[in-house]
Structure 1
Amino acid sequence: MTLTDIRSPNVSRGRTLEKPAVKGRGGLVAAQNRQAAHVGAEVLRAGGNAVDAAVATSFALGVLEPWMNGIGGVGAMLVRPQDGPVSSIDAGARSPADLNPADFPLVEGKDGDLFGWPNVLEDRNVVGARSICIPGLVRGLGSAHARFGRMPWAELVAPAVALAADGLVVDHHVTLWVAQEMARLQRNEACAAWFLPDGYPPVPPAAVTGKVARLCSPKLSATLARIAHEGPDALYLSDLAQDLTRDVQDLGGYLSAEDMAGFEAVEAPARSEPYRGHALHYVPDLNGGVSVALAMRLCNRDHVPAGTVAAPDDIMAYAAAMAASWEHRFAELGDGAERTLPSCTTHFSVVDSEGMTVSLTLTQTLLSLFGSGVVSPSTGILLNNGVNWFDPRPGKINAIAPARKALANYSPVMLTGEEDVVAFGGSGGRKILPAVFQALARIVDFDADLECAIAAPRFDLSAPPVLVADPRFGADLLKRLAERYPVVLADRIDHPNHYTTLCGVRRKQGVNYGAAEPWHPWADAVAEGESLFPNE
């Protein structure tokens, strides 16, 4: 095998970065965006429960990190009321009923997006109106709120309405993400108008000017205001659905008003997998949870940790379990096929002061960065490219087809043990699965705390057989890995993110903890009552 080094010579070697966990007996939110986490924490302070906070955080995230998620996307949720069973709410991607697989002919090469699929003519499965699946997120949030929520729906959506009216503040992180996807954004007039003012990526003004640059979307603010006032049905059964689907069809897509009206989130008991005295809970069916669960099953069966910290043998065992799980995933999982484990699964997490725990991954997702790159001009909604989750090769188990559920990567999971509940998830396409698996394994196998489980050296094995390795593993382990896999060394940095962005909460012996990816500049955990600007 081989070892390839793609590290930047400008990244300091051996560096570490810490982002301490938040701790307390009150509720808290851990999210990929601190301002969105603060919105959720304010809901907890106002008397809302964890699901209320999750709904508010979700809508806020869609405004504050629009290239990752939003109401044009999909997602899934796990909810565990205090000492109760874990429930799942699945609002995953489903293809439109009128989708025509013949519109996606293969051409030479592989695409440069998340999955390296064989190329499709004009990238139709990745970019543009044909790549759009039914946006189920709002249906999922509505189902969760109807079953578990306590505060009025309108109050939970209101912060997102205000944030959208004000506009997204431009900082270096915004500039990086927009610049990276400039070619995609230019392909759609409404998308370019939002994210490329004057035709270029936005740049924050110098501090001495005292000015702030913002990316505004009045149409999105108006759409969110209607959803706040009229409820989740506004997006699926009103003239909003008619406007949205007309925009998509005018651009050559398949999404119809009938698709929108017929979409329902699936509520079901979570599935569970035992792991060394704990139980892993995950969303049933076609998401990353089933593959995380299989990796843990294989590791539970084939390897017993011998020490108190992760040793090379442990990392080798984790890699082997993850590789076998991917093999099963690609061969066996697809809509209409067996969706369970053989023979017998933008993220944020919330815990309230009463112990209700929510693991909600939306990453809340649009799938690729900026999704389809299509903004509905009538509604201001940036839409997903869920067709990219399907295999473009005809005849494959997860092949592109109409009215079919996609095999997605989001992996909201919970781990329960004696007086201990952990809720985890991440963003980053297929990279989510190995990241979540390794963090959970470290918590159980080596009693790692939340922040250490997230910050520890990590590998990514999401495009097997290639294994992307954190150089902090050390020369001896990297040599062993390179004897079994083609290894690429890549730095743990915020951009590009080679490993995924994790967020999690934990309730252990009555105390709540929250932690977020230290290499992501926006990710953080916020406790109820904590100020957005604590130094003021």
Structure 2
Amino acid sequence: MAIPFFRPLVSLTFGVLVSAPLAQAQTATDAVAPETGSAVLTEADSPAVAKALAAKVAGEPVESKHWMVVAANPLATEAGAKVLRAGGTAADAMVAVQTVLGLVEPQSSGLGGGAFLVWYDAAKGELTTLDGRETAPKAARPTLFQDESGQPLKFYDAVVGGRSVGTPGTPRLMEEAHRRWGKAPWSDLLADATRLAEEGFSVSPRLAALVAKDVERLGRFPGTRSYFLPGGTPLAEGSLLKNPGYAATLKAMAAGGADAFYKGLIAQDIVQTVHGAEGNPGVLALEDLAAYRVVERPPVCLAYREHDICGMGPPSSGALTIGETLGVLRGKDLAGLGFANAESWRLIGDASRLAFADRGRYMADTDFVPMPTKGLLDDGYLVERAKLLDGSKALETVQAGSPTWDHAWLTGQDESIELPSTSHISIVDSWGNALSMTTTVENGFGSRLMTKGGFLLNNELTDFSFRTHDDAGNLIANAVEPGKRPRSSMAPTIVMKDGKPTLVLGTPGGSRIIGFVQQAIIGYLDWDMNAQQITAMPHLVNRFGTFDLEEGTPAADLAKPLEAMGYKVSVRDLNSGLHAIALEDGVLKGGADPRREGVAIGE
């Protein structure tokens, strides 16, 4: 199907500044002011990146026979490619990619955040998931984000500072994945990020732009201010940035594993940073860090178009909400209607709204609250929900349904905010293993607290509901509780057919992650798009009634037809970061979202 895709300008340059001398070990708060480097590796020095960027501009996927890695920054993708080229597994490559991302893309993910990982084990032919989501401190209470009168705090009043910081999960998740599925020496996997932190890296256009937009919040705390606003000036695109504190943290982890992060000096500094956040201190304690554990959970899967769509279950709402939406759409002829037909989007949009209504009422951390997981994906329930789409106009109202479950209790409607940042990694290795991991510090730059160890701390606790009860007095499932993991929309996904992966994908985007991923799946299975096309497809997302249409794309052309159907429409920027790998007849085909700096590399 021919679709008039938009093609945002993609820079054909990237910088790795390697000429600076090694910095003396020092804290992040003493970071060296950026300078322009003289020795810059360009695409001419990296044929793989040159190929990836050219394919991205042309709107074509990168193809390979043996392995593929797609990540949000060329430096991170190169680090993963180096590991895969040497015979490492997808788990090995993820560790290298994540540690570089935490350095060069700190606004999105890092050691101070959390992640969800979906893994296909080629030797066993099995799928599993690892939950590295942050946890609420033991001292957290349901009223954590309420003022003295019991009213919810304003969002950024809660975010900026220590109050919003949950126990990080990413370091323990990296270690656990490596322990289960890695082959390369652990310390080797941290080497590229350590070198870049010491020698310096070139500030990317995206990082520079986001720093410039967040000057006031980044400037509130000394450590963060000195790193991102050296001399009071925002980091400049192309400047050389060193992070000796981060290098020291990675060296400690190389020698001592994740325990070096969760215990000892690094843990003490994290707690001191949280408690010392002037104006908004938090309650994270050393015992929270020491007690943190990664949880293995079964994947959530739903059949769609002769494929199984598999992803992360609770505490993520991603796979369940995508599964509900696609389940409601199973009987609809989206292939015949096509992308450019407003009727396709009426069906997709209202199916999504129905799923989001259920998400708001039922979905939360099932280690703490009962949830009708099976009932929400029951065929009979989905058929009944699909009948609500039989008209030709937008649904006037949408309410949560009544799925069958064994522990029915009256839950309140949750209105918690989940704003976009985050990053996604897709990898297939030469062994046939596949990894899909979405990783985050939640809001851009997280809590805006930077440790002496050179990494930002998350604001993940603001993914909880700020309220404990809804207006009718019903308890909200996603309310704060000690040790609980906040609900997420992250949706790392592996699409399976006949027991083997056919598509590995995911994206950042806050609660719009769900819409971005399900749209990409529909594009691939219903509209015959390739791996690059599904990452570049114009976005149309409906969560709560208003149809968000991506400005500057053919999606905006559907505004009037959708308004005629009864929708309120908002034409706006919709900045995803989709990274996809399709496995087709022995060929790997990688796509990277043209809205961001990521690339696909494979051999």
After superposition, the C-alpha distances for 1:437-482 in whole angstroms (9 at most, x for unaligned) are 00001111122211111212221224x2221113544677322322
Q: Does the alignment pair 1:514 with 2:590?
A: yes
Contact preservation (8 Å) 2:70, 2:591: yes
1:366 maps to: 441
SS at match of 2:91: helix
**Which residue of the partner structure matches residue 291 of structure 1?**
321
Instruction: From the two aligned structures, give the one with the greater strand fraction.
Output: 1
Match of 1:382 in 2: 456
Structure 1 segment 135-154 matched on structure 2, within 5 A: 135-154=168-187
| 1:309 Cα deviation from its structure 2 partner | 5.7
The secondary structure found in structure 1 opposite 2:158 is: coil
Return the alpha-carbon distance in structure 1 between the equivalents of residues 63 and 447 of structure 2. 38
Distance change (3 Å), C-alpha of 1:45 and 1:102: same
Check 1:376–1:474 CA distance in 2 against 1; reply closer, same or farther (3 A cut): closer
Measured at CA, do residues 174 and 298 of structure 1 come closer, stay the same or move farther in structure 2, by a change above 3 Å?
same
**C-alpha deviation, 1:14, in angstroms:** 8.5
CA contact (8 A) 2:143 2:480 kept: no
Q: Deviations over 1:480-527 (max 9, x none)?
A: 32233210112xxxxxx524211111222211111110122x111012
In the alignment, what sits opposite 2:483?
Answer: 403
Q: How far off is 1:123 after superposition?
A: 3.7
- Counterpart of 2:107 in 1: which secondary structure? coil
Q: Which whole-Å CA distance do the structure 1 matches of 2:169 and 2:534 have between them?
A: 31
SS in 1 for 2:322: helix
Q: 1:272–1:250: structure 2 CA closer, same or farther, 3 Å change rule?
A: same
Paired position in structure 1 for 2:420: none
When residues 87 and 473 of structure 1 are mapped into structure 2, their CA distance, relative to the original with a 3 A threshold, is same
Q: State the SS of the aligned residue for 2:526.
A: helix
Letter in 2 for 1:485: Y
Residue number among 264, 281, 288 corresponding to 1:238 in the alignment? 264
> Does the CA-based 8 Å contact 1:30-1:37 persist in structure 2?
yes
Tell me the equivalent position of 2:164: 131
Whether the 8 Å CA contact 1:78–1:282 is kept in 2: the answer is: yes
How many Å separate the matches in 1 of 2:509 and 2:575? 7
The correspondence of residues 33-52 of structure 1 with structure 2, limited to 5 A, is: 33-52=73-92
Give the alignment of 1:263-342 within 5 angstroms: 263-287=292-316, 288-301=318-331, 305-306=335-336, 311-335=341-365, 336-338=369-371, 340-342=373-375
Partner of 1:198: 231
- The number of aligned residues is 488
Judge which range, 303-312 or 450-459, deviates more: 303-312
Displacement of 1:100 in angstroms is 3.5
Q: Structure 1: which amino acid aligns with 2:464?
A: F
Q: Distance in 1 between matches of 2:547 and 2:538?
A: 13
Separation of aligned partners in 2, 1:457 and 1:381:
34
Q: Which structure has the greater CA radius of gyration?
A: 2
Distance 2:555 2:155 in 1: 43
Matched letter for residue 311 of structure 1 = N
Match of 2:560 in 1: 479
Q: How does 1:70-109 map to 2 (within 5 A)?
A: 70-82=110-122, 84-106=125-147
Q: List per-residue Cα deviations over 1:205-238 (Å, max 9, x = no partner).
A: xxxxxxx522322112101111112112211133
CA distance in 1 between counterparts of 2:148 and 2:524 reads 45
C-alpha distance in 1, partners of 2:525/2:216? 44
Q: Is the 8 A contact 1:310 1:446 kept in 2?
A: no
Q: Are the aligned partners of 1:105 and 1:121 in contact in 2 as well (CA < 8 Å)? A: no
Separation of aligned partners in 2, 1:454 and 1:216? 32
- 1:107 is displaced (CA, Å) by 9.4
Extract unaligned runs of 5+ from structure 2: 9-56, 379-422, 470-475
Mapping of 1:325-474 within 5 angstroms?
Answer: 325-335=355-365, 336-338=369-371, 340-343=373-376, 344=378, 346-362=423-439, 365-377=440-452, 379-395=453-469, 396-418=476-498, 421-462=502-543, 464-470=544-550, 472-473=553-554
Question: Could you list the per-position Cα deviations for residues 364-398 of structure 1 after superposition, in whole angstroms to 9, with x for gaps in the alignment?
Answer: x0000000000123x22210001110111122221
- Tell me which of 486, 489, 498 is aligned to 2:571: 489
Name the TM-score, length of structure 2 as normaliser: 0.77
Please say which of residues 118-127 and 77-86 is displaced more in the overlay.
118-127
Specify the SS of the correspondent of 2:578.
Answer: strand
1:16 paired residue number: 7
Q: What is the identity, as a one-letter code, of the residue corresponding to 1:402? A: P
Alpha-carbon distance in 2 for matches of 1:174, 1:476: 31
Paired AA for residue 138 in structure 2 = A
CA shift digits 1:412-451 (9 cap, x unpaired)? 0110125652111111211211000000011111222111
Distance 1:332 1:65 in 2: 33
Q: Is the alpha carbon distance of 1:295 and 1:121 closer, same or farther for their aligned partners in structure 2, counting shifts above 3 Å?
A: closer
The share of aligned pairs that are identical, in percent, is 29
CA contact (8 A) 2:77 2:601 kept: yes
Rate the CA distance shift 1:14–1:381 in 2: closer, same or farther, 3 A.
closer
Q: Give the CA RMSD over aligned residues.
A: 2.3
Are 1:187 and 2:220 counterparts?
A: yes
The alignment's TM-score, normalised by the length of structure 1, stands at: 0.86
Which amino acid counterpart does residue 221 of structure 1 have in structure 2? A
Q: Distance in 2 between matches of 1:513 and 1:227?
A: 34
Unaligned runs of 5+ residues in structure 1 are 1-12, 109-117, 205-211, 491-496, 529-536
- In the alignment, the residues of structure 1 paired with residue 230 and residue 138 of structure 2 have an alpha-carbon distance, to the nearest angstrom, of 36
Change (3 A) 1:332 1:477: same
Q: Give the whole-Å Cα distance in 1 for the aligned partners of 2:254 and 2:546.
A: 45
- Once structures 1 and 2 are overlaid, which stretch shifts more, 96-105 or 74-83? 96-105
Q: Report the alpha carbon displacement of residue 242 of structure 1 after superposing the two structures with TM.
A: 2.4
Q: Does the Cα contact within 8 Å between 1:286 and 1:339 map onto a contact in 2?
A: no
| CA apart distance, 1:104 | 2.5
Name the CA shift for 1:408/1:224 in 2 (closer, same or farther; >3 Å).
same
SS at match of 2:336: coil
How far is 1:101 from its partner?
3.8
Residue of structure 2 in register with 1:220 after alignment:
246
CA distance in 2, matches of 1:474, 1:123: 31
Q: Distance in 1 between matches of 2:148 and 2:560?
A: 38
